[in-house]
Chains A and B, each alone.
Chain A
Amino acid sequence: MREPGTASKLEAAEIGRIFREESGRSVAALIRAFGDIDLAEDSVQEAFALALRRWPSDGLPPNPGGWITTTARNRAIDRLRREARRRELQSETAVLSPDDHDLDVPEEVGRMEDDRLRLIFTCCHPALSTEAQVALTLRLLGGLSTEEVARAFLVTEPAMAQRLARAKRKIKAARIPYRVPEAHELPARLRPVLAVVYLVYNAGLTSVSEPGLCSEAIRLARILTTLMPDEPEVAGLLALLLLTESRRASRTRPDGSLVLLGEQDRRRWDRALIDEGQTIVRRCLRRNQPGAYQLQAAINAVHADAASIQQTDWSQIVALYDQLLTCAPTPVVALNRAVAIGEVHGAAAALALVEELQLSDYHPFHATRADLLRRLGRESEAAVAYERAAAMAPTEAERDFLRLGGRASR
């Protein structure tokens, strides 16, 4: 007999949280066992429904993840048996029913980590569109419902369901493999995986409706570091997200408007996240295989060390941007490097670099230019640049901020 206590008071929300935590593992294990994404997804969903009915009265099983996987596996086997039986009846001929040996899903827990790794490389296969990669990753690995994924990307639930169905159809029809890429393929195949997680984080950062995506991205990045502990860029991505996250609370005002780095209340930065991020950055530095995510993390780690914008080690930041520019030679990186140079060598030097960039479609380009022009006392040119930036800014908060000449309204 179970004591009527905490275990029996399991709430649906708590079960939902556990499910989200565990479902990626279960889905991944079932896809490997049965080779069918839909079957895996549906069976895990059924196991969840059963958990919602049973756990509140029976209490939490000792190994909830194992319970979900075993239950889902049994459901999948039942369904395959039923379908085989139905086919048999329909054709009235003896067809081979899947024998029990084939359905004997190994329960080794050790392989499950590999399954999730297989799953993320399938979800982020370059043959799928970025939108599909993001949606599949959140749905299958992150355990979000279709409705939650739809809300995060501001599309209707039927549209998201269709996007997911189309992607799964392509995986099946084109036989996108369910395996971890070989070492020589890894650099190219890891890129979209990291990009998807980074994109999920940024979606959370800019979307007021779905700040939960930030923690979701960090959770995915943590899973990746567990699965690929020897990949420096995976660690770099986690560090970058942690350090960015440490400032999230102080980067917007209650009304949603933006607070620039120099104006943020640094006492509100989350020290625990900073410590964790900086520890990873130091480990990356020792490993000395720099990459774009590690360098961006290192830049953020330098900011996290400074008591104010003036006391920031800008020459260190310029050096890091120089390195970043060699491994990611994009105009956006060049723009950020110019800003850092402005702090070391003055606004005129920075403006000269900015004017050379082909970035007129990117609103931070105009905002940066405006700021530099203002610092040089070229007020009327600055006003025009602020207006251009404001016209292109994606959120109301940013538009307001830029219309006020990049100065806080209060």
Chain B
Amino acid sequence: MTQYLLALHNIAGEAVEPMSDEEMKHSWAQVSALNEELQSSGAWVFGGALHGPDTATVVKVSDGEVMTTDGPFAESKEHLGGFYVIEAEDLDAALAWASKATAAVGKPIEVRPFRDGRGA
């Protein structure tokens, strides 16, 4: 088994058409159904949705000193909106979960293997 990160990407400025209450409810129901399925199948490791990049803080070492700065690490239109960490047999199994996730949230999902997986 390998662990995979399923990263949900938001694109700033795109699709800001606010969801109707109806759509919101529908999406929320789909996400909860997916979470339940992930948990009952044993694939679930961890997951959650993040606050926006305007709530981010970056900490780094510069000249031996720890610096704290406001804002996200990279100035970019895309940012991480949320993620799952799952356990799957192989990439096809991970992609099958990612397909369900993208259908539920309507956002592209990036799938990446963890280095520590026993398979890699």
Contact = CB atoms under 8 A, between A and B. Distances in A.
A127 B91 contact: yes
A54 interface: no
A175 B95 contact: no
Interface string A123-154: 00101000000000000000000000000000
B91 A172 contact: no
Contacts of A176: 90-92
A177 interface: yes
Contact of B113 (A125, A175, A177, A185): A175
Contacts of B92: 176-177, 185
Interface of B: 2, 4, 89-92, 94-95, 111-113, 115, 117, 119-120
Contact of A173 (B89, B95, B120): B120
Among the interface residues A172, A173, A176, A177, which one has the most CB atoms of the partner chain B within 10 A? A173
Among the interface residues A174, A176, A177, A185, which one has the most CB atoms of the partner chain B within 10 A? A174
Interface of A: 125, 127, 172-177, 185
Nearest to A185: B92
Nearest to B88: A175
Contact of B2 (A125, A175, A185): A175
Nearest to A127: B91
A16 to B, nearest CB: 35
Contacts of B119: 175
B111 to A, nearest CB: 8
Nearest to A125: B91
Contacts of A125: 91
A177 B120 contact: no
A175 B113 CA distance: 8
Given A175-B2, A175-B113, A177-B90, A127 B95 contact: yes
A185 B115 CA distance: 28
Contacts of B94: 174
A185 B117 CA distance: 26
A174 B95 CA distance: 11
Considering the complex of A and B, which 9 residue pairs feature the smallest CB-CB distances, nearest first? A177-B90, A175-B90, A174-B113, A173-B120, A174-B91, A176-B91, A175-B2, A173-B113, A175-B119
A174 B92 CA distance: 10
Nearest to B4: A174
Given A175-B113, A177-B91, A185-B92, 6 more contacts: A125-B91, A172-B120, A176-B90, A176-B91, A177-B89, A177-B90
B91 to A, nearest CB: 5
Contacts of A127: 91, 95
Contacts of B2: 174-175
A127 B4 CA distance: 14
B108 to A, nearest CB: 14
A182 to B, nearest CB: 9
A276 B113 CA distance: 46
A175 B2 CA distance: 8
Nearest to A181: B92
A405 B119 CA distance: 60
18 contacts: A127-B91, A127-B95, A172-B120, A173-B113, A174-B2, A174-B4, A174-B111, A174-B112, A174-B113, A174-B120, A175-B91, A175-B117, A175-B119, A175-B120, A176-B90, A176-B92, A177-B89, A177-B91
B78 to A, nearest CB: 20
B45 to A, nearest CB: 16
Contacts of B4: 174
Nearest to B2: A175
Contacts of B95: 127
A175 B120 CA distance: 8
B85 to A, nearest CB: 15
A121 to B, nearest CB: 10
Contacts of B111: 174
Contacts of A173: 113, 115, 120
A35 to B, nearest CB: 9
A133 to B, nearest CB: 15
B100 to A, nearest CB: 15
A177 B1 CA distance: 12
Contacts of B113: 173-175
A176 B112 CA distance: 12
A342 to B, nearest CB: 43
A87 B119 CA distance: 19
Nearest to B1: A175
Contacts of B120: 172-175
A125 B111 CA distance: 15
A74 B89 CA distance: 29
A173 B90 CA distance: 10
